[in-house]
Amino acid sequence: MTDKEAILQRHSVRSYEDKKIDEDVVRQIKDKIEKLNLIGDLHLQFIEDADKTYGSFINKARGLGSAPSVIACVGKEADDLEERVGYYGEKLVIFLQQLGLNTCWTGTFSKKNVNAEIKSGEKLVICIAVGYGTDQGRIRKSKSADQVTAGRKDRPEWFNNGVELALLAPTAINQQKFTIKLNDDDTVEFINNGGVFSRVDLGIVKCHFEIGAERQN
């Protein structure tokens, strides 16, 4: 399964089977995280037992309490930390989809119950629920390409392909508060239009755009 195919297949899943992730899969996840942490200067962590991470009433009501495992997105505090978490965290989410797992980016979790290592100067930004879903999620409403783009009107195919996948990027409460601007010199700007977790969202959007436009790092 290619990255693009994984993006097209993936939807947020909030209800999971009572099943631990296979040992061989866990090993592959940890190997991938090690590589992403090195490239992105992050401290992403796979926590096999989510325990009470999603133990609040609202998370249980949404089904997240059933998630067997969790990715804790941790990194050294910096102006671009949240964006890097989104970018490299989504690369991990795509990889997890390719492994046959389901995921959900989650801003609602109990920080004190996340069994993550947070060193001095580091911050827990967000978590990703992971496991075997009871379903594959559902397609959500999306803005149109015209609603999220700006700049040149004569847009090349690679740009349109990037925007197509960017519109499939998961964003907090499906807000899609971003703008992708194509400049006259073919450079691309990603504009954060504000909102909860919007800087994380922008990193996810960049990841999707690059895959769609075949401009991967």
Residue ranges of domains in the chain: 3-131, 145-213
Q: Is residue 58 very low, low, confident or very high in pLDDT (cuts 50, 70, 90)?
A: low
Cα–Cα distances in angstroms (integers) from residue 215 to residues 145, 156, 208, in the given order: 19, 14, 10
pLDDT higher than 90, residue 133: yes
Write the DSSP assignment of 60-85 as a string of letters.
HHHTGGG--EEEEEEEE--TTHHHHH
pLDDT digits (tens, 9 = 90+) for 18-57: 899 999 999 999 999 999 999 999 999 999 988 777 765 4
Average pLDDT, the chain: 91
What local confidence, expressed as pLDDT, does residue 55 receive? 61
Q: Could you tell me if 32 and 95 are in contact, meaning their C-beta atoms sit under 8 angstroms apart?
A: yes
pLDDT higher than 50, residue 110: yes
Average pLDDT for 186-193 = 96
Q: Could you tell me if 73 and 83 are in contact, meaning their C-beta atoms sit under 8 angstroms apart?
A: no
pLDDT higher than 50, residue 6: yes
Chain CA centroid to CA 42, Å:
14
The Cα–Cα gap between 37 and 41 comes to: 5
The Cα–Cα gap between 93 and 104 comes to: 9
pLDDT higher than 70, residue 185: yes
Place of tokens 């790092």: 217
The CA-based diameter of the chain, rounded to the nearest angstrom, is: 52
* Superfamily of domain 3-131 in the CATH hierarchy: NADH Oxidase (3.40.109.10)
What is the number of alpha carbons within 13 Å of residue 112 lying toward its C-beta?
1
What local confidence, expressed as pLDDT, does residue 217 receive? 39
Which one-letter DSSP state was computed for residue 210? H
What local confidence, expressed as pLDDT, does residue 50 receive? 81
The Cα–Cα gap between 60 and 65 comes to: 5
The Cα–Cα gap between 36 and 105 comes to: 17
